[in-house]
Structure 1
């Protein structure tokens, strides 16, 4: 989804993110979306569609429940956005799980594992050790 780069589209994206977070915390009764944090909202240039990315406190395991919860409360949230932003037609909301945090954690663990493997293969006293390199970087 291509995000509009107009100042209005960016401002609407930020407002939608704030309002959705507040509605989820205070007004939505569906327990499937209670442990959800809105990470990003992208609005198209014509303000007709909004991609809402979220993470669950339960992690990736809670995605299926959260998706079902968002399908259930989508109309309520869209109506609330229209009222709070005083716009005639609220954008269609599409919710997508944000995998960025899990991917970052996974890549960080892979890097740590690779560095540990390198440290075991190249011992500090071995002939293949890098001269002048600190112990942690070998």
Structure 2
């Protein structure tokens, strides 16, 4: 779970983490089964990589990425259009007093990992790492 996504200083509570994970599983299940009556969503394979919740559990942000990263904006628009139906499916199994309001964002984690790989594969960085390793051996 990415701690930078939380606004409070101490991080999420165990309850927030547990509820977020249940929401993530439920969203992934609903999207995989095609329970939503949106033709755009039914033809996309969407990964729900993470869900974060507000401290009062009334708001949840789902970080998504379509398979292969293709059609990301289209997927976001379709999810936002179907937000009420998705909220209904998620709330049914959640057992909370209030169904959380769902918000969808693209997951940039994969892009950041690619950027980090590119940086680490840069010849100048490789030379610095090799030089540092030699200094540690001495």
TM category (shorter chain) comes to: 0.7 to 0.9
Q: Distance in 1 between matches of 2:125 and 2:16?
A: 46
> Which of residues 90, 100, 106 is equivalent to 1:91?
100
2:30 to 15, 19, 23: 23
1:107 to 110, 113, 116: 116
Distance in 2 (CA, whole Å) between partners of 1:109 and 1:29 is 40
Change (3 A) 1:31 1:110: farther
Please list the CA deviations of residues 78-137 of structure 1 after superposition, one character each: whole Å capped at 9, or x if unmatched: 01111111333211111110111122112212321335985xxxxxxxxxxx6x96xxxx
Tell me if structure 1 keeps the 8 A contact 2:50–2:63: yes
Q: Indicate whether 1:11 and 2:21 are aligned.
A: no
Quick check: 1:13–1:43 contact (8 Å CA) kept in 2? yes
1:31-63 deviation line (CA, Å, top 9, x unaligned):
54422100111111101110111112131x422
Question: RMSD over aligned Cα, in angstroms?
Answer: 2.7
State the partner residue of 1:76.
Answer: 85
1:39 aligns with 2:49: yes
| Structure 1: tracts of 5 or more residues without a match | 119-129, 134-138
**TM-score if structure 1 supplies the norm length?**
0.74
Q: What count of residue pairs does the alignment treat as equivalent? A: 122
- Of structures 1 and 2, the larger Rg is shown by 1
CA-CA distance at 1:5 after TM superposition: 2.8
Relative to the length of structure 2, the TM-score reads 0.74
Task: Name stretches of at least 5 consecutive residues in structure 2 with no aligned partner.
Answer: 1-5
